[in-house]
């Protein structure tokens, strides 16, 4: 962006209107709130750690809030969406988890992890066609990469044992 926008101007509806065209162009070109508000990667990582620690301590609702905030600041970061999906899935908010995992898939299309989680959510939602589809994608994406062999084994096992109906 060619000029600075002060946060207090964004908080005031009337003042923010004058920035609307520049903001629209900024976001259409891939700009993020993280960059606009000048949050450095250390700040973002510290916030991610807060969300991760909350998730680890089974405070899934608060963890989801932190991850949701992070996805707003930078919607291109896979781990923020994955954290949000895991938090929602752990709260049994499967539809919301599906949305987060679909974003992970869009941001990192070669990553098999979201497909395994999507299969779990669709199983809970009794959507067997989607379960099979995502298990197959998880198997295919994880087959050739050593780092994903556990995902490959898990997805293949689930697929092999999933009802054929």
**Distance separating alpha carbons of residues 155 and 69, to the nearest angstrom:** 31
CB 84 within 8 A of CB 74: no
Rg (the chain; Cα; Å): 19
Residue 105: how many CB atoms within 10 A of its CB? Answer: 22
| 40/34 Cα distance (integer angstroms) | 7
Among 24-28, 81-85, 132-136, the range scoring the smallest mean pLDDT is 24-28
Q: DSSP code of 162? A: S
- CA dihedral over 126, 112, 98, 121, signed as positive or negative: positive
| Cα dist from 134 to 78, 97, 101, 111, 154, whole Å | 18, 14, 11, 12, 12
pLDDT at 164: 79
Segment (H or E) for 130: helix 128-142
Taking a C-beta distance cutoff of 8 angstroms, is the pair 84, 71 a contact? Answer: yes
The pTM of the full predicted model, rounded to 2 decimals, is 0.88
Q: What is the pLDDT of residue 1?
A: 46
**What confidence tens digit (pLDDT) does each residue in 20-64 have?**
888 888 888 988 989 888 899 999 999 999 999 999 999 999 999
* 35 token code pair: 């960059």
């Amino acid at each position: 962006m060619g000029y600075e926008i002060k946060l207090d101007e964004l908080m005031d509806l009337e003042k923010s209107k004058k920035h609307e065209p520049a903001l629209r162009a900024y976001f259409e070109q891939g700009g993020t709130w993280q960059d606009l508000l000048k949050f450095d990667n250390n700040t973002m990582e510290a916030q991610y750690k807060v969300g991760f620690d909350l998730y680890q301590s089974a405070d899934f609702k608060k963890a989801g809030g932190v991850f949701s905030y992070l996805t707003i600041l930078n919607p291109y970061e896979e781990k923020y969406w994955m954290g949000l999906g895991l938090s929602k899935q752990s709260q049994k908010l499967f539809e919301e988890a599906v949305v987060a995992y679909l974003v992970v898939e869009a941001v990192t299309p070669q990553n098999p992890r979201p497909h395994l989680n999507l299969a779990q959510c669709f199983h809970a939602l009794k959507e067997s066609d989607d379960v099979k589809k995502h298990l197959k994608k998880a198997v295919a994406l994880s087959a050739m990469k050593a780092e994903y062999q556990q995902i490959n084994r898990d997805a293949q096992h689930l697929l092999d044992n999933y009802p054929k109906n």
